[in-house]
Amino acid sequence: MIRLSLLALSLVTVAIGITGCASHHLVPGKRAIFRCPGGEVIEATFRDGEVAATLPDGTKAILPQVISASGARYSDGTTTLWNKGNTVFIMKGEVVTLQDCVAEGQ
């Protein structure tokens, strides 16, 4: 019984650690502009549990935060924005469409 309790406690600790890793260093509610190597711009406002993003083609999306083992991932099931440190990349379905986009002023 004690072993089972220790295992459960360990799993909770790992889950909390993973959730903590998913957070980005950008301040919630703050707007960030990311510039991609090809000159594309992504505007993003990180809020509690979601990001409001404007993509280079003008598409606006509210993407809820989803579980991620590394970085912060926001997805509506079609469009995904991954935030790792001061960079983001965009996926449409399983295809990376923009990558290595760096936050201005970082």
| Best CA proximity match to 106, nearest among 9, 2, 34 | 34
pTM above threshold 0.85: no
**Domains of the chain: which residue ranges?**
2-103
2-103 under CATH 3.50.50.60, yes or no: no
Q: What is the pLDDT of residue 106?
A: 63
Reported as a single tens digit per residue, the pLDDT across 19-68 is 344 344 555 678 899 999 999 999 999 998 999 999 999 999 999 999 88
Q: Distance between CA atoms of 89 and 38, rounded to whole angstroms?
A: 13
Query: What residues have CB less than 8 Å from 68, skipping those under 6 apart?
Result: 18, 21, 22, 82
Least confident of 56-60, 67-71, 80-84: 67-71
Q: 64 pairs with which residues across the strands? A: 50
Q: Distance between CA atoms of 60 and 19, rounded to whole angstroms?
A: 26
Q: Judge whether 95 and 26 are in contact, CB under 8 Å.
A: no
User: What phi-psi label fits residue 85: left (phi over 0), alpha (psi between -120 and 50 degrees) or beta?
Assistant: left
